[in-house]
Amino acid sequence: MKDVTQKTQLLGHRGSPRAAKENTIDSFRLALEAGLDGLELDLHRTRDGVLAIYHDFDLEGRPISGLDWAELKTQAPWMPCLEEVFELAEAFPQALLNLELKSQPPDSDGREAALTQALKAWPERERAWVSSFDPLALIRLRKLGYEGTLALLYSDEVVLELLPCTGATGVHPHYSLLTEGKVAAFREQGLFVMTWTVNNQDTARRLVEWGVNGLIGDLPSELLALRIP
């Protein structure tokens, strides 16, 4: 992944979800056109191996993993696949992509392998990194030969006990779990820190002062206010 320590990176949480439907191409485009540095988005694997962009594990009561892509598009024509996001990113050559791999441990349906292959096929893969709440998914990615950047997502600090096993070089905690001391400790360990979901200028400023590497939020204007003198 490109160096995220050069400045505080500002990412759109599922794009710009207050301006357009979250996790859609319209939402992603609006976030990038507003001036954000990149996007955070959610990935699932369909039954036939397509990486679909959607937050929840189910769509109208049916598991994403149990639907073929054509069937899914019939139900949700607005839903993009990962390759469509890569195509959009080509129009914004500086944009970063935080790909959150949705996973339910302990089993896998091959989503880690599908993502590894998709990233290997994308010439601009250094602009992307993978995060997940599932430590096993991160371990699988490394075992499959994924050489890019990994980050452990968490909303419960107990999962940090597994961080050394994952091969992750970054952490993505909810902002409410951070203190100045915790950010400093992570940075001393050589970990980059991205935090979510930050929708308030004052909170954002405090986190930047503490030394986080990036903020993920729903409101581009609140994040971009940090760069207004």
pLDDT at position 229, please?
62
Superfamily (CATH H level) for 9-227: Phosphatidylinositol (PI) phosphodiesterase (3.20.20.190)
Question: Hey, what are 24's tokens?
Answer: 């859609």
Give the model confidence (pLDDT) of 48-102 as tens digits: 999 999 999 999 999 999 999 999 999 999 999 999 999 999 999 999 999 999 9
Amino acid (1-letter code) at residue 130? V
Q: Reduce the DSSP state of residue 40 to 3 states and report it.
A: strand
Amino acid (1-letter code) at residue 140? R
Per-residue model confidence as pLDDT tens for the chain (229 residues)? 555 445 899 999 999 999 999 999 999 999 999 999 999 999 999 999 999 999 999 999 999 999 999 999 999 999 999 999 999 999 999 999 999 999 999 999 999 999 999 999 999 999 999 999 999 999 999 999 999 999 999 999 999 999 999 999 999 999 999 999 999 999 999 999 999 999 999 999 999 999 999 999 999 999 999 997 6
The contacts of residue 36 (CB under 8 Å, 6+ apart) are 10, 11, 12, 220, 223, 224
Half-sphere exposure of residue 13: CA atoms within 13 angstroms, side-chain side: 19
Tell me, rounded to whole angstroms, the distance of Cα 157 from its chain centroid.
19
d(CA 215, CA 16) in angstroms, rounded, equals: 14
pLDDT at position 7, please?
84
d(CA 124, CA 5) in angstroms, rounded, equals: 19
Helices (H), 133-178: 135-143, 163-166
Whether 97 contacts 128, CB under 8 Å: yes
Q: Reduce the DSSP state of residue 58 to 3 states and report it.
A: strand
d(CA 145, CA 185) in angstroms, rounded, equals: 29
d(CA 220, CA 34) in angstroms, rounded, equals: 7
